[in-house]
Structure 1
């Protein structure tokens, strides 16, 4: 993967869209994209793998036009790869370092025009961390946006040792990590989580004490209520009904119904550094969908799969030959 500054190309392959619309209509491979120029606080990453998230196709559909960067856009928030060039003010990283991160500090406020589904991407030092040695590039690329979202919501809910939590959408990219963080990092007394019938065993394997089959049970009608409800799917009033008096509900799905706390992720490499020991020792594991690794050439197929809404964990695009 290593590449010295001296022989960096000026052009690269990248998937991009020049108009808003469905990924199958607007996403095209451009074999002649300019390799991004670096700012002083950025590193140039040779991309080994890029994770994709629902925010990518929602952005492509034009949901966030009002605050988006100009077109054409290379999608992709999550990256794992090798530093091949560093800006003059970069202190944490050097050429050859294996890094990962969510490249957009603010998820919806002028996200980068040129994202991670390309051979190279320019990234601010502060949103990156060294890749855990235990993880492959593909595993690492499936983590940043999801694990930082899981962590930020738990922090906002003031989750702590001995509290109980209900995770709505426990088998998804974010949900699968909330379960693990709540159990392994925060010391939850009880973790409940919802999924469809076929994913209940996965929830148990992640550490859920009470897997709930939402096709057969209404979680909001359970006699048991929870200190924190973390809603990754947008259940609004139902989520609030499952919360204990004096508890907290957090959601990542707008518009959010008060008193639920709605938040949009702020990416921060320091959070990944804090979580790395849990990843290195295997207490927290990335969950990649069994059918969810696609070669770079099949990026449209990767989006088509993500858009089904039936993904377990994450979908990742591999640029490693």
Structure 2
């Protein structure tokens, strides 16, 4: 099969398109997915740069966490899926501990049944591929804080892959009383369209100067030291990246198809929408360009690769 591969850690230039990679074997609890679309995440770039090499799987690596595609083969213990089913998911149960050597940026990928869910019927493959890692991170992070109806939240980097979904889930699924979010000037309208009650331009306003404090601050950008200054006494600060300042806590997602199944009705009804960066989708042979763009940290929502041959 065709797959993108890197045999050493480094920049975008270590990525090579190889048309002679073996299709992965399928374990008893796995399905083989014909990949239709995949998405890029900051964790893909950090992994390729060697930031998790102590817990990474061996090189060479086919990168990619997010997948949407069609089941073409099922293992003997698989109960929920059959050949022909359209599915989506994050192929790595643990983001940083032993992620798969053969990820989703390939024509085929083998994935445990428990990590997948049926693709939402109203979404195309590119939209579905944009969701798994980011929406699971958004949902599980909110759950970890004990977020519940009537609470307020501030989302740092509300226009990013995770932040754009935190805004929507806080409002639509968890019943937030007030949602504030930060972005650059050009994304303020996007924040409001996603359900933010207060859209803050971080280029002009300082969150520490806000007249209010929040029950939860969801830091999706790496500013925990500032986030802890705007959380209420007894509140929670979720930190996805960067240094952690108490009472903030580091959060790394565990991939789980059950979370996607739970959220599918909100996705199918349009209450929660995937945000695919308008520069994409990038074609399969443009993966190096797509990674270069992702690594500028200027993407809106998710960078998606589609179609995959």
The bucket for the TM-score relative to the shorter chain is over 0.9
Instruction: Flag the structure with higher strand content.
Output: 1
1:17 matched residue in structure 2: 6
TM-score, normalised to structure 1, is 0.95
SS at match of 2:288: helix
1:220 matched residue in structure 2: 208
CA separation in 1, counterparts of 2:247 and 2:232? 13
For residues 233-271 of structure 1, the C-alpha deviation after alignment (integer angstroms, 9 at most, x for no partner) is 111221000101121111111432221121111000000
Q: CA deviation at 1:319?
A: 2.7
- Does residue 312 in structure 1 map to residue 294 in structure 2? no
SS at match of 2:223: coil
Runs of 5+ unmatched residues, structure 1: 1-11
For residues 77-100 of structure 1, the C-alpha deviation after alignment (integer angstroms, 9 at most, x for no partner) is 000000000000000100000000
2:198 matched residue in structure 1: 210
CA separation in 1, counterparts of 2:227 and 2:177? 19
Runs of 5+ unmatched residues, structure 2: none
- Runs of 4+, deviation exceeding 4 Å: none
CA RMSD of aligned residues (A): 0.8
CA contact (8 A) 1:162 1:187 kept: yes
CA separation in 2, counterparts of 1:213 and 1:227? 21
CA contact (8 A) 2:24 2:109 kept: yes
The alpha-carbon distance between structure 1 residues 320 and 58, as it changes in their structure 2 partners (threshold 3 A), is closer
Determine which of 11, 26, 35 is the counterpart of 1:47: 35
TM-score, normalised to structure 2, is 0.99
Determine which of 142, 164, 186 is the counterpart of 1:198: 186
CA contact (8 A) 2:225 2:244 kept: no
For residues 122-141 of structure 1, the C-alpha deviation after alignment (integer angstroms, 9 at most, x for no partner) is 00000000000000000000
CA separation in 2, counterparts of 1:221 and 1:158? 26
- Does residue 188 in structure 1 map to residue 176 in structure 2? yes
Q: Number of aligned pairs?
A: 309
2:244 matched residue in structure 1: 256
CA separation in 1, counterparts of 2:33 and 2:93? 16
SS at match of 2:237: strand
CA separation in 2, counterparts of 1:285 and 1:269? 18
For residues 215-239 of structure 1, the C-alpha deviation after alignment (integer angstroms, 9 at most, x for no partner) is 0000122120001000001112210
CA contact (8 A) 2:88 2:116 kept: yes
CA contact (8 A) 1:237 1:257 kept: yes
For residues 264-318 of structure 1, the C-alpha deviation after alignment (integer angstroms, 9 at most, x for no partner) is 1100000000000000100000000110210101111111111111000000001
1:7 matched residue in structure 2: none
CA separation in 1, counterparts of 2:224 and 2:128? 31
Determine which of 107, 113, 118 is the counterpart of 1:119: 107
Q: CA deviation at 1:320?
A: 4.7
CA separation in 2, counterparts of 1:44 and 1:265? 23
CA contact (8 A) 2:106 2:308 kept: no
SS at match of 1:304: helix
CA contact (8 A) 1:119 1:319 kept: no
CA contact (8 A) 1:173 1:287 kept: yes
SS at match of 1:65: coil
